[in-house]
Amino acid sequence: MKKVLLNLSALHPQMAQMILAVFNNQPVDLEVKTDEQDQYDFPQNERVTSEELQVDEKAIESEIRHIRGVISNEIRIGNESGWTYSEIQHLNHFFLDFLTEIIGPTGHAEVPFQLGFPSLLIIIKNLMVVYRDNTYENNDILQTIEETFDALEEFVFQYAGRLNVKLQKKYLKQALKLFGSNAFQGYDNLRYEFIESIHEMITRDVADEVIAASDKLVKNADFWDNGDRKTQHIILRIMIAVQTGQIGLAKEIATANMDIDDIRQQWVSFLESQENFDEAEKILLEAPRNNAWQKERWDDSLTGLYVMSDQKAKVIPLLRKRVLSHQTNAYELYKNIMIDDNLWEKIYPNFLKEMEKKLTRYEFGDILVTEKEYSKLLDQLKKYNSAPMIRKYLPELYPHRKKEVAALYYDKVVVPESKKDSANAPRQLRKDLDDFFEVSGDGKLVQRWIKQLQLQLADKPEFLEFLSLATRNIEMSKKDY
């Protein structure tokens, strides 16, 4: 071990410290004072030179075995504990500390490619297995996986341009082995996100190997795969074609598969990145709008394109049309653009009337809440006399129209519920009383309602039981009424 450390530290003064940190399972600050310029201290996003890839292969391989052993021990401890919350957190901190030894906080690669790349693959494999096999407390693991992908992408970027063909193929083979493994079973989205993170390594010389590995996965897809793997495979082919400068091929692949929504979106995103807005617009306008979900998706993409390309003359009528077609998520953007043009106050009154005619009662109600049009909202509640609608807007409206809302709530929500014969009516009545008390804090008023109801429902013990519970809720509350 001492010989290994000496060999590695001769390559880079921080290397031995990283190894000791991992080997001893302790985070170590890699700041090392030296009179010479740090060989691996290059600016973020700057590629390294080929001379910096010269390493002692045997020393590297030996240390990777040690790293794999330390990580395996961490996984073993977690497995034995049943992956408790504390073990999950410990594992995340362990790997995040490890990542900072490979890619520093400022994004600098801190170790040679031959050590950093395999180490990142080992981290990803083990994280994926834990994530795959544990259904609880795995959101933090997923975040660590995503951060590892980001670290891998940055690490590869800094080295990829200087890898010779031999090194490129050697380490790509390792990546493809992980890509095709069952570590990603059930999570093809992460499988393909992983391979995309090493896209800088994919040149024309090796593109066919990557595509073949993905094609094999598609052919081996099980019955439950709903086409997602095929879609991911096509997106990967497009990405590789673009990556290798074969734009014509990328367009050919995209065009042949434009019936898949995600492929259409992927190609539109590429066209936008090239500022080819006319073609992107054409593809979006041709997109199928067979249901509300598709219509909103493509209208949203078209809106984004018009905003990105500063086509205000097109985006304004589109946004107006979207709002009046029940896509009310476009309302705020439409309003803000009109405010910027000093037109909002002019068009708002008539636009409000149009929305009242064309939107559902709840869509229009939400707009009225947004605009603080409380009088108009109260008019809507009186117009429809809908108990569900009154319940929904009680929290927003009550603070501004207390007496009117209280009377409306009692007459149209509480009393009708007390007259129902359904088995759930007593429980719902109690909930309505509790909800009003929670919003209003007016315990005296609610208790008056309860007393009236107790007299009216004296011969219905099932109601009286829940009314007593509502009374107890008020008495136990800390609210000052």
Q: How many CA atoms lie within 13 A of 199 on its CB side?
A: 17
pLDDT of residue 225: 72
Side chain identity at residue 120, one-letter code:
L
Distance CA(229)–CA(313), nearest Å, equals 40
SS3 category, 103? strand
Could you list the residue range(s) of the whole structural domain that residue 1 is in?
A: 1-30+41-47+54-201
Q: How many CB atoms lie within 10 A of CB 204?
A: 11
User: 398, 439 in Cβ contact below 8 A?
Assistant: yes
User: 16, 5 in Cβ contact below 8 A?
Assistant: yes
User: 446, 474 in Cβ contact below 8 A?
Assistant: yes
pLDDT of residue 2: 33
Distance CA(429)–CA(417), nearest Å, equals 6
pLDDT of residue 48: 52
Distance CA(229)–CA(218), nearest Å, equals 6
User: 334, 316 in Cβ contact below 8 A?
Assistant: yes
Is 283 inside any structural domain? no
The tokens for 384 are 């429809």
Side chain identity at residue 328, one-letter code:
T
The tokens for 414 are 């509480």
pLDDT of residue 14: 46
pLDDT of residue 34: 31
Is 441 inside any structural domain? yes
Distance CA(339)–CA(318), nearest Å, equals 16
Q: Name the β-bridge partners of 127.
A: none
pLDDT of residue 481: 44
SS3 category, 109? strand
User: 92, 134 in Cβ contact below 8 A?
Assistant: no
Q: Note the pTM of the prediction, 2 decimals.
A: 0.78
**Could you tell me which residues come within 8 angstroms of residue 223 by beta carbon, excluding any fewer than 6 positions away?**
none
Of 201, 219, 234, which residue is a domain's last? 201
pLDDT of residue 393: 98
pLDDT of residue 366: 98
User: 240, 210 in Cβ contact below 8 A?
Assistant: yes
Is 182 inside any structural domain? yes
- Measured between its terminal Cα atoms, the distance across the chain in Å is 74
User: 15, 115 in Cβ contact below 8 A?
Assistant: yes
DSSP character at residue 412: I
Domain count, the chain: 2
The tokens for 142 are 């997923």
Distance CA(479)–CA(481), nearest Å, equals 6
Q: How many CA atoms lie within 13 A of 11 on its CB side?
A: 27
Is 310 inside any structural domain? no
Distance CA(302)–CA(299), nearest Å, equals 5
pLDDT of residue 137: 61
Is 355 inside any structural domain? no
Of 201, 224, 245, which residue is a domain's last? 201
**Closest by Cα among 421, 447, 451, 452 to 434:** 447
Distance CA(54)–CA(76), nearest Å, equals 34
Residue entry with tokens 């065009």: 255
Is 303 inside any structural domain? no
Is 269 inside any structural domain? no
Is 143 inside any structural domain? yes
Of 186, 201, 216, which residue is a domain's last? 201
In this prediction, the residues of the chain whose per-residue pLDDT falls under 50 are 1-16, 19-45, 50, 479-481
The tokens for 240 are 């590789």
The tokens for 260 are 């898949």
